[in-house]
Structure 1
């Protein structure tokens, strides 16, 4: 979610209780290589605490537990390193790459809790830690990027996020820059979250691992896709995690990118690596990572900006990627040509299919003009688009005026309602000469880049057979070999979705 419209009240954000958790913690860094030691930081007033670690895949798999003496430290401000007591946790070299969640509890001497039956059951606003185990050497063709930067942008542990702070109630922060630390509870799980509840799936808060990434990862592993994992901090620090992989995946809401992360991903594409983004609002804000990798800074306020304004509707915002280096040149699309619907249920909206003979539609039964995903409100709650025009046949084609590659093949369009009463809000952009719409599609520059152009793709994935089939087709096509894939409406064989 990019923000709140200026006329909207803050609303029922998902916040933690003001009461201190019995036990809480965070990892010193969000990623660790298999076989290395991860420093975990835990605070509790209990004499002892227990930590159970689960790997999140098709199911939750219990991997280890630890019992240790408890020590207490106070909470700090959101921009600070909280410096809580540290505990070294040796990650076995044999552990598979993946996303791991540690569950903390204070009654260490009691019987173990029953194993949770889903990632949704694991999710909580305190007493949880998320970390990613990266492989020592690549074990798969696919690399999944976990968006830790975005998690922490919305994490309100300590009383603030990259959206607001109790320490800056009257005016924007000096210089227009906000800072959030990576060494504090939260960041995908275990912290209070800025954002409105999801009317289409209220079980978990939007800006969390359980809401976006977990259902997509569960589907990947249930359908036999072998995957390595990394964080965006890993890709910020080095392009090495991309080595040996054919396809880089992200899903849901991958909004905050550093310049080195973007540079490394672009170089991967240029040398033939493929990218599939099953989400939207991607690469919207630029963040700067501190030299020690412990905090993020983002300059969201142009000079003289009043408090409460919708920053996405302004020009001159320093860390909007589109104003200096349009994200379209990498992703093919931008939020500024789409829009967001943050509050309450949306009117059902799906993609109108064009070029239905393209191999990503193999096995879907879709024809040109059919609707994809409308039954489940697939388009939203935020979506991305390209500047478009209509050709002689009436099909939407990219103009390229916004930075989108001119050979971006638009395979589905969803024009957004223009009436403000429909609840959609839009960002500033270069020209209002074309309609606001989500544009599903792909292009090739060395490697092929696919975008689903809607944040809600992972939410609908378990619900819609055609969405599942397209997901399977894209991953199969782009993970098979590095280098160009078919971008035009040609006949390319794609195996049928299993099951």
Structure 2
């Protein structure tokens, strides 16, 4: 049922489809897979009641750039369920080989589009990550958290917050679908659990500063692609909460082989997901302890099958965990920033900060979720990791922000350590590459407005490359 095409050349579907049931008004769609190599073909699934439609592709960099257009005859279809492939009409699109690796927003339209449309809406948008066709020689690889996008995607009436299984083959997953979660009082322009909210501003700042980057998804990492292609640094930002066993294993091997990691986010690697046996079609996550009554909060519970920290603490890879931080999900929160623990560290070069100074407070940098490490204060007044939560003893705590009592705190092992967002770094050594963590989801939100955040980001990216 595929429809081979070239951009700008309309080709009708190979079969007429008039499915029974309610019809989709307007237009929406989803890719059959979240990423594709430049030069290869990806199947796009589109439903519309219009007789024809166009797709305009925009690559997201320092700003959106139009990359191409394709048009086809329209075909209607009924919405599906959150846990089953929607099987919408399929159109095959060959990605031009000269498209640079990047995040591409596909804008679906039934009328001519004038000017640059909004990149983020809850319908008529698809996210597609174009990966390089061969090793590119670039040193930075940015991971798009498709698993987390779909965990919060409620298209079809469910998400991983109401069910244990969701399909990736439905609208949404970064853009183009409804999203679970409360509004962000600090940035109401997009929902939190979307590409536009955290990844897009970070990518804009990163590429705008001249950093050359290739892109992939966590599904690519899970399946063992790209990390062995000569990259020095793996970057993640914002909210990269759901990790598969394969992704965790492959990222750990990358670090152990000398690769560096920069995590400009938080609540990272909190839940384990299993990629369904049918490959890219779905995710599974078992959150609740056996026999848990309805209404149980899995974050506050013990014995959750897919809590990473209860079986293999994420601290061992990243140095921090959400269970030693916390979240403030609804409404304005106390304005917190990081208090600098060691201003002589290269991370703070050029910031003008001194030990004991606080940065990011005016912009409420800490939140909406943040990660921490169990720590104690040494005889010199410096915070040091205790190691009891899995944080390596050589992890350097560079900044702390103790959290107020009105935050949401997850279950954790007994410890005397305060709950605190923990900015830190494990330096490169014979046992592996360096790992930096910003320990707050909102780091990207302040990248364009806070000079300290911008300088630290630039220091980390340039040093770890």
Q: Is 2:23–2:49's contact at 8 Å kept on the other side of the alignment?
A: no
Q: 1:212 aligns with which of 194, 198, 206?
A: 198
Aligned to 1:90: 94
Q: Calculate the TM-score normalised by the size of structure 1.
A: 0.87
Q: 1:370 aligns with which of 321, 334, 357?
A: 357
Q: Is 2:23–2:77's contact at 8 Å kept on the other side of the alignment?
A: no
Moved more, 18-27 or 457-466: 18-27
Aligned to 2:35: 31
Aligned to 1:333: 320
1:25-63, Cα deviation, whole Å (9 max, x unpaired):
000000000100010000111111111110000111111
Deviation at 1:151, TM superposition (A): 0.2
Q: Is 1:234–1:241's contact at 8 Å kept on the other side of the alignment?
A: no
1:107-131, Cα deviation, whole Å (9 max, x unpaired):
3xxx333223xxxx31000110001
Aligned to 2:387: 400
Aligned to 2:106: 102
Q: 1:286 aligns with which of 272, 277, 288?
A: 272
Count of matched residue positions in the alignment of Structure 1 and Structure 2: 439
Deviation at 1:242, TM superposition (A): 4.2
- Other structure's SS at 2:370 match: strand
The separation in 1 between residues aligned to 2:28 and 2:226, in whole angstroms, is: 32
Runs of 5+ consecutive residues of structure 1 not aligned to the other structure:
1-17, 166-177, 480-499
Q: Is 1:143–1:242's contact at 8 Å kept on the other side of the alignment?
A: no
Deviation at 1:241, TM superposition (A): 4.0
The separation in 1 between residues aligned to 2:391 and 2:116, in whole angstroms, is: 47
Aligned to 1:190: 176
- Other structure's SS at 1:268 match: helix
Name the CA shift for 1:19/1:413 in 2 (closer, same or farther; >3 Å): farther
Q: Is 1:272–1:446's contact at 8 Å kept on the other side of the alignment?
A: yes
Deviation at 1:432, TM superposition (A): 3.8
Aligned to 1:128: 125
2:162 maps to 1:164: yes
Aligned to 2:49: 45
- Other structure's SS at 2:261 match: strand
Q: Is 1:21–1:126's contact at 8 Å kept on the other side of the alignment?
A: no
Aligned to 2:411: 428
Name the CA shift for 1:470/1:155 in 2 (closer, same or farther; >3 Å): same
Q: Calculate the TM-score normalised by the size of structure 2.
A: 0.93
1:213-258, Cα deviation, whole Å (9 max, x unpaired):
0000001111100000000000011143442100000000000000
The separation in 2 between residues aligned to 1:428 and 1:390, in whole angstroms, is: 23
- Other structure's SS at 2:399 match: strand
Q: Which has the higher contact order (CA 8 A, sep 6+)?
A: 1
Q: 2:307 aligns with which of 320, 327, 330?
A: 320
Runs of 5+ consecutive residues of structure 2 not aligned to the other structure:
1-21
Q: 1:359 aligns with which of 346, 358, 363?
A: 346
The separation in 1 between residues aligned to 2:295 and 2:184, in whole angstroms, is: 22
1:339-383, Cα deviation, whole Å (9 max, x unpaired):
000000111100110111000100000010000111101010000
Moved more, 332-341 or 130-139: 130-139
1:55-105, Cα deviation, whole Å (9 max, x unpaired):
000111111111111111111110101111100111011110000000111
The separation in 1 between residues aligned to 2:23 and 2:89, in whole angstroms, is: 20
Name the CA shift for 1:21/1:213 in 2 (closer, same or farther; >3 Å): farther
Aligned to 1:6: none
1:246-295, Cα deviation, whole Å (9 max, x unpaired):
00000000000000000000000001000000000000000000132210
Name the CA shift for 1:190/1:326 in 2 (closer, same or farther; >3 Å): same
Q: Is 2:23–2:76's contact at 8 Å kept on the other side of the alignment?
A: no
- Other structure's SS at 2:285 match: strand
Aligned to 1:68: 72
For the aligned residue pairs, the C-alpha RMSD in angstroms reads 1.2
The separation in 2 between residues aligned to 1:432 and 1:306, in whole angstroms, is: 27
Aligned to 2:240: 254
1:166-199, Cα deviation, whole Å (9 max, x unpaired):
xxxxxxxxxxxx1010000000000000000001
2:210 maps to 1:224: yes
The separation in 2 between residues aligned to 1:317 and 1:239, in whole angstroms, is: 30
2:453 maps to 1:437: no
The separation in 2 between residues aligned to 1:142 and 1:306, in whole angstroms, is: 45
The separation in 2 between residues aligned to 1:384 and 1:197, in whole angstroms, is: 21
The separation in 2 between residues aligned to 1:391 and 1:115, in whole angstroms, is: 55
Q: Is 1:142–1:246's contact at 8 Å kept on the other side of the alignment?
A: yes
